Amino acid sequence: MNQVIIRQNLTSRMEAVQSPIIPVVSELIKNNPGTISLGQGVVAYAPPPEAIEYLPKFLAEPKNHLYKTVEGIPPLLTAITEKLQTFNNIEINTNNSIVVTAGSNMGFLNAILAITNIGDEIILNTPYYFNHEMAITMAGCHPVLVETDENYQLRPDAIAQAITPKTKAIVTISPNNPTGVVYSQAALQAVNQICRDRGIYHISDEAYEYFTYNGVKHTSPGAFPNSSEYTISLYSLSKAYGFASWRIGYMVIPKHLLVAVKKVQDTNLICPPVVSQYAALGALQAKPEYLRNNIAAIAQVRELVIDSLQSLEGLCKIAAADGAFYFFLKVNTEIEPFELVKRLIQQHQVAVIPGTTFGMHQGCYLRVAYGALQKQTAKEGIERLVRGLKKIVNS
């Protein structure tokens, strides 16, 4: 009996956390050879050569094998400061600080642990990024879900109405995962002002900051005047620089959170992996053509995807998406989303991610990711998806 009680006590916190969907879908793909994955959100291209060229500099200094500062090595912090100033219009001053992290997911968890007590609330806009919801739950806090509009755009009035005395932050992701939409400057400014007025934090996840199309511009809330004392900005090299496995991101936080964030990071990580920080320092020296050419190639794939998805009109609702490398489909079917995903893999050899993992439980939603594929593979994958949806849903 005691062993049963112990097991229940040990597992109760994590039982409330959803299981990551990517490994589940990956196992289905593994069991169905030849499947084209439109699932995981990664890019196909490699880091820039400048990243690899910096590795000998890491190896040349024996002390680099020892622990380094919790918040990141000084040369990388300097490079990030310059990038933030030129691309994001964010000035690093006496009111804010940079902390290098092992990816922006770590930055998000750092932030949640630094600003909350158990039982506090964090507002997420649905569909949400599943790792955000998981981190909030792991921290013993409660995600409060606010629906976006029919085009997955923010509803500032609804967000304001969801705030309670336990609310500690509002989270926005732009460009968005999983929908691919880009929030307008006006909407982000409205949310940022709500946070200022209510004395809560605005957590802005900007992992896809470079991935915008059709002349749409990225907006960083941390650049709004006098916002640095309550805005937490999260960034990642995983997407734009092909750095997924190197695990380097960074956060810009109010200075008053630095001690708390360093406590979290020192306990969890001690310091970001130094070899990866050197690679990141090199990546940030890459020629402008590196990002421009790689994102232009993804933009071409995006056009192929749009052309193919048009034939699903009437079968699916597909909102306009001017950022990231995702489309979010609402399928007109009563089929359970994960069941539809399984049938697409097993019967049509194409993989997508069910919308339930992003908090969409009313209806059948699918996330389609196209960043990891070359044009021809993407074309074949999307064609399989279109054929599969038509056959399964109409049968």
**Domains in the chain, start-ordered, CATH in brackets?**
2-46+288-394 (3.90.1150.10), 50-283 (3.40.640.10)
Residue 362 has what pLDDT?
Answer: 94
Q: What is the DSSP letter of 224?
A: S
Residue 204 pLDDT > 60: yes
Q: How confident is the model at residue 339 (pLDDT cuts 50, 70, 90)?
A: very high
Residue 7 pLDDT > 80: no
Residue 12 pLDDT > 80: no
Average pLDDT over residues 147-166: 98
Asked if 185 and 225 touch (Cβ cutoff 8 Å), the reply is no
Q: What percent of the chain has pLDDT over 90?
A: 90
pLDDT tens for 229-274 read 999 999 999 999 999 999 999 999 999 999 999 999 999 999 999 9
The whole-angstrom separation of Cα 244 and Cα 381 is 22
The whole-angstrom separation of Cα 310 and Cα 215 is 22
Mean of the per-residue pLDDT values of the chain: 95
Q: How far is CA 208 from CA 72, 186, 199, 229, 371, in A?
A: 22, 19, 27, 23, 11
Residue 8 has what pLDDT?
Answer: 57
**Number of C-beta neighbours around residue 289 at 10 A:** 10
The whole-angstrom separation of Cα 177 and Cα 157 is 22
Residue 307 pLDDT > 70: yes
User: 236 is written with which tokens?
Assistant: 């990642």
Q: How confident is the model at residue 20 (pLDDT cuts 50, 70, 90)?
A: confident
| Contacts with 222 (C-beta within 8 Å, 6 or more apart), sequence order | 88, 90, 96, 204, 228, 231, 233, 252
Nearest CA-CA partner of 73 in 293, 296, 282: 282
Helices (H), the chain: 2-15, 21-30, 49-53, 55-59, 74-83, 104-115, 130-138, 156-161, 185-198, 258-268, 274-283, 288-309, 337-348, 375-394
Residue type for 89, please?
Answer: N
Nearest CA-CA partner of 203 in 257, 166, 151: 257
- Of 13-22, 187-196, 204-213, the least confident: 13-22
Could you give phi then psi for residue 223, rounded to 5 degrees? -90, -10
| Contacts with 209 (C-beta within 8 Å, 6 or more apart), sequence order | 87, 88, 175, 218, 220, 235, 240
Average pLDDT over residues 88-107: 97
Q: How confident is the model at residue 62 (pLDDT cuts 50, 70, 90)?
A: very high
Residue type for 221, please?
Answer: P
Average pLDDT over residues 133-149: 97
* Residue count of the chain: 395
Q: How confident is the model at residue 2 (pLDDT cuts 50, 70, 90)?
A: low
Q: In what order do the strands lie in the sheet with 364-369?
A: 316-318, 326-331, 364-369, 353-354
Q: How confident is the model at residue 22 (pLDDT cuts 50, 70, 90)?
A: confident
Residue 380 has what pLDDT?
Answer: 95
Q: What is the pTM of this model?
A: 0.95
Average pLDDT over residues 206-224: 97
| Contacts with 31 (C-beta within 8 Å, 6 or more apart), sequence order | none
pLDDT tens for 106-136 read 999 999 999 999 999 999 999 999 999 999 9
Q: How confident is the model at residue 174 (pLDDT cuts 50, 70, 90)?
A: very high
Asked if 250 and 71 touch (Cβ cutoff 8 Å), the reply is no
Q: How confident is the model at residue 6 (pLDDT cuts 50, 70, 90)?
A: low
What would the DSSP string read from start to end of 268-333?
HTSS--HHHHHHHHHHTTS-HHHHHHHHHHHHHHHHHHHHHHGGGBTTEEE----BTTEEEEEE--
Nearest CA-CA partner of 98 in 78, 116, 113: 78
